[in-house]
Amino acid sequence: MTLNFNPLETNLVNLAIVIGVLIWFLRGFLGGILERRRAAILQDLKDAESRLKTATEELTKAQAELAAAEQKADKIRLDGQSRAASIRAEGEQRTISVMAAIKAGADADADAEAARIKDTLRREAALAAIDKVLSDLPSRLDDQAQARLIDSTITNLENA
């Protein structure tokens, strides 16, 4: 068995041309696809960052509103305690009409408390929505790992 070193008979020239054309074509074709994918992933990341920023701002606002509502609730509680003490002290001296006025005040406090509870429930719903957005972020960040894999594949193709 003898080795044939004639390039025309062994089709080495043809193979070199075909491999060169394939490398040139695939580099342009795959490079375009990978670049579009990279741009889409970057846009998704920017969108996620924007949503995170919005959610963080809404959380900060909701926390400020909650703190204000808690202060108001504490004031209402202290006012209610002091008013209850004065009612007990003057209870023997008041008439039936004063008791009716107290009942009207209690109804107003109950309405205010019901409104406060509604506001608290709304804030809790907003916090739950923010928690959901924050829990979605890690699954979206998995695309970043995919982007790194694509980038390393592009680098390997360019170095080949």
- Structure confidence by residue, pLDDT tens digits, 72-114: 999 999 998 888 878 777 766 667 777 778 888 888 888 888 8
CB-based burial, 117-152: b 16+ in 10 Å, e otherwise: eeeeeebeebeeebeebeeeeeeeeebeeebeebee
List of residues 6+ apart from 147 with CB closer than 8 A:
37, 38, 41, 42
Q: What percent of the chain has pLDDT over 70?
A: 81
Cβ atoms of 126 and 62 within 8 Å: the answer is yes
What are the pLDDT digits (tens) for 120-148?
998 888 888 778 866 765 565 566 766 77
